[in-house]
């Protein structure tokens, strides 16, 4: 009995030390100002936890654009992400942001919050959709201030967001792309392994 209590105390102590570091979420904000205008955006931000693509056209690309001269719609000039509408590629291109483990930039992961500034060069209603890894729609948001160069914030919150789709009706600027990351430190795996070993020894002794 004494050994069991000692074991449980050790487990509780280890968990109390490890869980805060595992559960601490960090907000990532990408303003695209570190890339030059005209840059095709794919995995440049994989080490921060997200990769970008065009969802509905195999040859289309998401690119960095500069502000329209004289425009005041972009709160974090000079750059934003655009779907670079090509009249030959219809319907309008849908921007996809897929979340990955920033540790390796490849392994799929999830977030629980996505937010960004949405601006269109035409009066339209933009739509943000969040999906699970199984392509289940988890949450959505629609712009409420359609207008020429009107900027507003679109955001969604849900558990297990694997990717989001940004549906514009024309060409669009996406800026200050924000999402939460819950890193799992390598030390956490050591805690899991150690705890499993401790529990295994307890079972054998019993």
Domain extents for the chain?
Answer: 1-24+184-206, 25-182
**What is the pLDDT averaged over residues 135-144?**
92
Q: Note whether 82 and 39 are within 8 A (CB).
A: no
* Per-residue pLDDT, 127: 87
Residue 82 · residue 66 · CB < 8 Å: no
Q: Specify the pLDDT at position 91.
A: 61
Q: What is the distance between the terminal CA atoms of the chain, rounded to a whole angstrom? A: 10
Percent of the chain exceeding pLDDT 90 equals 36
Residue with tokens 């024309």: 170
Q: Please state, as a whole number, how many other Cβ atoms lie within 10 Å of the Cβ of residue 51.
A: 19
Lowest mean pLDDT among 28-37, 42-51, 123-132, 187-196: 187-196
Structure tokens at 194: 């150690």
Residues near 79 by beta carbon (within 8 Å), at least 6 away in sequence: 31, 32, 33, 35, 37, 64, 65, 66, 67, 175
Banded pLDDT at 12 (limits 50, 70, 90): very low
Alpha-carbon gap, residue 116 to 176, rounded angstroms: 5
Element (H, E) at 174: strand 172-181
| Range scoring the smallest mean pLDDT among 67-71, 86-90, 116-120, 150-154 | 67-71
Contact 159, 111 (CB under 8 A): no
- pLDDT tens column, 30-87: 999 999 888 989 999 999 999 999 887 666 678 887 665 445 555 566 888 887 656 5
For 50, residues 6+ apart whose C-beta sits below 8 A from its C-beta are 28, 30, 97, 98, 99, 100, 177, 179
Q: Which range, 134-143, 147-156, 188-197, is most confident?
A: 134-143
Q: Is 8 helix (H, G, I), strand (E, B) or coil?
A: helix
Which pLDDT score is estimated for 22? 45
pLDDT at 90 over 70: no
Instruction: Calculate the average pLDDT of the chain.
Output: 75
Which residue is listed with tokens 């849908």? 94
Using CB atoms within 10 Å of the CB of residue 165, give its burial: 0 to 12 exposed, 13 to 18 middle, 19+ buried. middle
**In the chain, pLDDT over 70 holds for what percent of residues?**
57
Each residue's pLDDT tens digit, 155-180: 999 999 999 999 876 677 889 999 99
If you ran DSSP here, which 8-state letter would residue 143 be given?
-
Q: What pLDDT score was predicted for residue 68?
A: 52
Residue 180 vs residue 205, higher pLDDT: 180
Contact by Cβ (8 Å): 65, 80: yes
- pLDDT of 103 strictly over 70: yes
Q: What is the CATH number of domain 25-182?
A: 2.60.120.200
Asked if 64 and 107 touch (Cβ cutoff 8 Å), the reply is no
Select the more confidently predicted residue: 30 or 188. Answer: 30
pLDDT value, residue 84: 66
User: What are the residues whose beta carbons fall under 8 Å from the beta carbon of 130, sequence distance 6 or more?
Assistant: 114, 137, 138, 139, 140, 156, 158, 161, 163, 164
- pLDDT at residue number 5: 46
């Amino acid at each position: 009995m004494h050994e069991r209590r000692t074991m449980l105390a050790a487990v509780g102590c280890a968990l109390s030390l490890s869980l805060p570091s595992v559960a601490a979420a960090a907000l990532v904000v990408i303003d695209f100002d570190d890339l030059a205008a005209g840059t095709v955006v794919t995995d440049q931000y994989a080490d921060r936890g997200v990769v970008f693509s065009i969802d509905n056209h195999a040859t289309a690309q998401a690119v960095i654009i500069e502000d329209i001269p004289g425009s005041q719609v972009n709160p974090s000039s000079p750059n934003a992400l655009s779907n670079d509408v090509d009249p030959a590629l219809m319907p309008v291109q849908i921007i996809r942001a897929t979340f990955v483990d920033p540790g390796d930039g490849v392994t799929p992961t999830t977030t629980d919050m996505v937010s960004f500034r949405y601006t269109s060069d035409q009066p339209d209603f933009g739509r943000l959709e969040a999906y699970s890894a199984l392509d289940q729609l988890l949450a959505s948001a629609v712009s409420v201030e359609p207008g020429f160069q009107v900027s507003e914030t679109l955001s969604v919150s849900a558990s297990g967001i694997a990717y989001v789709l940004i549906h514009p009706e024309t060409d669009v600027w996406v800026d200050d792309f924000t999402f939460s990351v819950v890193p799992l430190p390598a030390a956490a795996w050591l805690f899991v392994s150690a705890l499993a070993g401790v529990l295994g020894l307890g079972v054998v002794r019993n």
